Amino acid sequence: MRMSCTCVVGLQWGDEAKGKIVDLLTAEHQFVVRYNGGANAGHTVVKNGKTYKLSLLPTGILSPPLRAVIGNGVVVNPVRFLEEVRTLQGAGIAIDPHNLAVSDHAHLIFPYHVEEERLGESDADAAIGTTGRGIGPCYADKVARSSGIRVGELLYPDHLRARLRQIVPRKNAILRAVLPTARTFDADTICDEYLGHGQVMRPFITDTPRLLQQALRDRQRILFEAAQGTLLDVDHGTYPYVTSSNSSTAGVWSGSGVPARNLTRVVGVIKAYTTRVGRGPFPTELNDGPDGIGEKIRKTGREYGTVTGRPRRCGWFDAVAVRYTAALSGADELAVMLLDVLSDLDEFRICTAYELDGRRITDFPSDAFLLERCKPVYETLPGWKREIGEARKAGDLPTAARRYVDRLAELIGLPVTIVSVGPDREQTILCR
């Protein structure tokens, strides 16, 4: 028997406001699962006037009795895990092993991963513009096998020490070969530190695929919370300017152990415009200076990265890209976020096609170097020049705002079921 599970997935380059949608859907589910990424994510939720920022833990942890799960596809830095648990507990959120589980199969991020990433990113030509959290090197070790270490191994001191004594000297040699002044590490020091973290984490460490399989048998509903966006998916995104995991719905099955056929609802989250942090092609980017529309959107939308504080690159909505990601992630419906941010503009543009080497195309190119050469083809729609933060139903929106949302739905070919007009939970319009 298949269960009704939901996935909330970003259809752009991340920061689409997935956290707010997850928070809205928690009441309909008993479990919430992060299946990819790590503390590179930054999900902000505004609830009862309070702002919460989640990075490694699922946003659903804010809504007990929902049980939050860090799935096997996630990469875990124990320091960040414990920091986040303590910060949330300090903010009055009850967190204990009854409502939080972390997979024994999730891979561990070590300090040498962060150093490896720092060295890689210090080459301006090769840099991806990562969050610097050791995500990529950790996934690389996972796939390489001989140097990957999983959360469950924290509970076996002799075993962990033997593995680190084998791995760390090799890491040091590589680091020093890349840069003679690179940081190096002592296996026993790392081991002692991580064994300490392991003891605190012990009650949370679980065989999560088995936990979730049991949940399905108990007819519990599971909500999957994607990190990043589908355009950052390592297989389907704008490679190599992507993250190192499957951030589309493709990651659900491998990253949680729940067969994807249980997904009966995929909510594709989009901003009413586009943002991107880090390097990589972005055809609709607005590079129009300090007095331009790009900067206006950045200021109004407070478009600065949660994890790194970097200004997010801003641009017009790209329907070519979202048609591609909506199909890839199997989206059933769209949540259009941050519509209020556009309220002060005279008119908007939507990219409906690209011009590539003199030819008009409507299919998203499969290579970043080709996307780099694409020029957007726009259609223009009138603005509404009115605050919309108080709108609570579609009828409260100005006609031009409704027309804009309808046009997005038409171009993507999916219904818009949620429109968000502000960060607060109440600033939401349910369209069905």
Just list the catalytic residues: 15, 43
- The residue at minimum Cβ distance from ligand IMO is 278
SS3 265: strand
Quick check: 76 binds ligand IMO (CB under 6 A)? no
The span from the CA of 147 to the CA of 143, in Å, is: 9
Number of H-type helices and E-type strands within the chain: 12, 20
Question: What is the CB-side half-sphere exposure of residue 221 using CA atoms within 13 A?
Answer: 13
Nearest residue (CB) to ligand IMO, 22 versus 421: 22
Instruction: Enumerate binding residues for ligand GDP (CB under 6 A).
Output: 10, 14-20, 42-44, 46, 301, 306, 337-338, 340-341, 420-423
Q: What is the DSSP string of 324-391?
A: HHHHHTT-SEEEEE-GGGGTT-SEEEEEEEEEETTEEE-SPPSSHHHHTT-EEEEEEEE---S--TT-
The residue with tokens 């300490």 is: 196
| Closest CB 41 distance from ligand IMO, rounded Å | 3
Q: Give the residue, chosen from 38, 42, 137, 229, that forms a contact with Mg ion under the rule CB under 5 A.
A: 42
The verdict on 133 binding ligand IMO (CB under 6 A) reads yes
CA atoms within 13 A on the CB side of 424: 9
CB-wise, 3 or 56, nearer to ligand IMO? 56
| Least spacing, CB of residue 176 vs ligand GDP, in Å | 36
3-class DSSP assignment, residue 36 = coil
Are the C-beta atoms of residues 23 and 420 closer than 8 Å to each other? Answer: no
Cβ of residue 137: shortest distance to ligand IMO, in angstroms? Answer: 9
Nearer to ligand IMO by Cβ, of 116 and 153: the residue is: 116
Q: Which is nearer to ligand IMO, 206 or 244 (CB)?
A: 244
Among 26, 59, 130, 172, binds ligand IMO (CB under 6 A): 130
Question: Taking CB under 5 A as the rule, does residue 23 contact Mg ion?
Answer: no
Nearer to ligand IMO, 120 or 330 (CB): 120
Q: Is 231 in the site for ligand IMO (CB under 6 A)?
A: no
Beta strands in 116-244, from DSSP E residues, in sequence order: 205-206, 222-229
Q: Which stretch binds ligand IMO (CB under 6 A): 40-48, 85-93, 368-376, 404-412?
A: 40-48
Kindly state whether residue 128 participates in binding ligand IMO, applying the rule CB under 6 A.
Answer: yes
Asked whether 400 and 347 are in contact (CB, 8 A), the reply is: no
For residue 427, state whether it binds ligand IMO (rule: CB under 6 A): no
Distance (Å, rounded) from C-alpha 386 to C-alpha 86?
41
